[in-house]
Amino acid sequence: MSKVTLTKVLIVGAGPIGLELAACLKHAGVDYLHVEAGQIGQTMSWYPINAHFFSSPERIAIAGLPLHAPDQSKTSREQYLTYLRGVVEYYDLKIRTYETVTHIQRLSPTGFHVTTTKTVYHADNLVLAIGDMHGPRKLNIPGEDLPQVSHYFVEPHRYFRQKLLIVGGRNSAVEAALRCQRVGAYVTLSYRRADFDLEHIKYWLYPELKSLIRAGKITFKPQTVPVEIHADHVVLHSPIENRQSKIPSDFVLLLTGYVMDSKLFELAGVTLKGENRAPVYDQETMQTDVPGLYVAGTAAAGTQVRFHVFIENSHPHVARIVQALTGSPPPDGLVNPVARDFALPES
């Protein structure tokens, strides 16, 4: 193994919140290093092509740099990735990309040995800004690993004139159903509930979805769950009717949510609580119950069953960590103040 690199702070994860923190620590002159398993904004990079954020642009802007959408609307995946690259260039942030943290060893009395796929770090403090979407929530049914089955909707074109079964009833599934129907796919939507929960889908999608279902352009199978996937069909089970039906399908999208991999927290000895397995941390500092280990961004929420931690209400995490590590808050404007100034729910 290569020699150990020393640092006062190691940030893990270069999503928007990890990047905002890096800009602040650099500004404060803190000795820090930053590693990222993929490319910066890795989580956004697997959003569907041309997907739009639900949040308004000013709420997901970071590090004091304005974010504008060309049409004054919501920001697209492509615009946001462009913006994040600009933030990194503007502050000249050094990020060790394509380097995954694989192991954390807590040292006595303080500090950590952090092993990555490339080297080992000795960090006095560690910030896990690793997000909460490490993998799909699997159904664990036969056929889930077949090649025509995916847990990620990337782009609609591949489903043109194909029979597509989509499983799920929240934003990802509903948006995929609408976009794929529009490109000429024959869409069936299976959802375990009787109807869609308006709190969980973008409000402008709902009327459109309902009218396409009414018009017979999307086939809706409420209160059904897939139990087997075969090369040319999926078996749906209806617990209410206690019967099974075969749905012919060329492709299957299982859009049933994502889960967090809490391995790094476990390795470091952080207590995880509740059904979300959220790390225990101090609200004032974001320090977990392991001294010197901080959590930032959506990772603070664990696996979110009901989403309540987003980019916009994670900005304060950055200010708290900067204060805890340096003794001073970041200067006005460097951390997005939106959430502090307007305590609105997700917009």
Using CA atoms, how far residue 228 sits from 149, 153, 234, 235, in Å, is 12, 20, 6, 5
Least distance CB 40 / ligand FAD (angstroms): 7
Q: Would you count residue 169 as binding ligand FAD (CB under 6 A)?
A: no
Per CB under 6 A, the list member of 12, 213, 235, 268 interacting with ligand FAD is 12
Q: Would you count residue 36 as binding ligand FAD (CB under 6 A)?
A: yes
Least distance CB 13 / ligand FAD (angstroms): 3
Window 198 to 237, contacts with ligand FAD (CB under 6 A): none
Window 144 to 163, contacts with ligand FAD (CB under 6 A): none
**Beta strand 233-238 pairing with 243-248:** antiparallel
Q: Would you count residue 298 as binding ligand FAD (CB under 6 A)?
A: yes
Q: Would you count residue 304 as binding ligand FAD (CB under 6 A)?
A: no
Torsion 24-32-88-282 (CA) sign: negative
Q: Quick one: how far is CA 204 from the chain centroid? A: 22
Least distance CB 289 / ligand FAD (angstroms): 20
Q: Would you count residue 131 as binding ligand FAD (CB under 6 A)?
A: yes
Least distance CB 280 / ligand FAD (angstroms): 18
Gap between the Cα atoms of 331 and 208, Å rounded: 45
Bridge partner residues of 328 (DSSP): none
Per CB under 6 A, the list member of 32, 47, 186, 196 interacting with ligand FAD is 47
Instruction: Encode burial over 224-238: b for 16+ CB neighbours within 10 A, e otherwise.
Output: bbbeebeeebbbbbe
For residue 146, the SS3 value is: coil
Gap between the Cα atoms of 174 and 209, Å rounded: 7
Q: Would you count residue 18 as binding ligand FAD (CB under 6 A)?
A: yes
Torsion 129-132-136-137 (CA) sign: positive
Q: Would you count residue 129 as binding ligand FAD (CB under 6 A)?
A: yes
Contact residues for ligand FAD (CB under 6 A)?
12-18, 35-38, 42-43, 47, 51, 53-55, 60, 100-101, 129-131, 133, 172, 264, 297-298, 310-312, 314
